[in-house]
Amino acid sequence: MSITLQTNYTIVKFSKNTSLTSWTIVNDVVMGGKSTSTISKNSEGNAVFKGEVSLENNGGFSLLRHRFDKIDISQFNKIKIRLKGDGKKYQFRIKPSRFNQYSYVNYIQTNGDWQTIEINLSDFSPVFRGRKLDLPNFSGNELEEIGFLIGNKKNESFKLIIDSITLE
């Protein structure tokens, strides 16, 4: 009897047929801010997260999140993201449960070209409302939410094109 371990797991691979219904936008308007953003697909079928971050009314962020049925990630140790940014810095966020009050965060610096970014799961730090928590880095075995957040403490337009997100 042999046991085969799965070497990777695709959380999402965008295509023209991929639904965006499980992707949600949360802008700073939830706390009185004025930032705006949208999620759509381009002609190639990639997801496009774009908008305007505004610092007006103590705002300053836009979040795109994806919730899904809980997946066992115990056999994986990194996440791989293929995207094309605009030269700006983004947070990539993960949650073992959608009910967690805080997220585990790692930062992505985009360069304007297509990039494949690999992040060790153990390199995600716990953050709540922009503040790093005095808790250990991510060490969970489950995942139920991922997301991208832009909040660079300045007024700026942004555009992030997402192709795929996989676990390895």
What is the full DSSP assignment across 86-129?
Answer: -S-EEEEEEESSTT-SSEEEEEEE--SSEEEEEEEGGGPEEEET
For residue 7, what pLDDT is reported? 85
Residue-wise pLDDT for 56-108, tens only, equals 999 999 999 999 999 999 999 999 999 999 999 999 999 999 999 999 999 99
Token readout for 24 is 């949600």
Residue-wise pLDDT for 59-72, tens only, equals 999 999 999 999 99
**pLDDT band at residue 5 using 50, 70 and 90 as cut-offs:** low
Residue-wise pLDDT for 119-137, tens only, equals 999 999 999 988 999 999 9
User: In this model, does residue 4 exceed pLDDT 70?
Assistant: no
Residue-wise pLDDT for 6-47, tens only, equals 689 999 999 999 999 999 999 999 889 999 999 999 999 999
User: In this model, does residue 166 exceed pLDDT 80?
Assistant: yes
**pLDDT band at residue 113 using 50, 70 and 90 as cut-offs:** very high
Given a contact cutoff of 8 angstroms between Cβ atoms, the answer to whether 160 and 86 are in contact is yes
* Residue range 149-160: mean pLDDT, rounded: 97
- In the chain, where are the structural domains located? 9-167
Identify the CATH number of the domain defined by range 9-167: 2.60.120.430
For residue 137, what pLDDT is reported? 97
* 39, β-bridge pairs: 49
Given a contact cutoff of 8 angstroms between Cβ atoms, the answer to whether 26 and 129 are in contact is no
Other beta carbons within 10 Å of 26: 15
User: In this model, does residue 2 exceed pLDDT 60?
Assistant: no
pTM assigned to the model: 0.94
Handedness of CA 16, 23, 27, 102 (dihedral sign): negative
For residue 1, what pLDDT is reported? 57
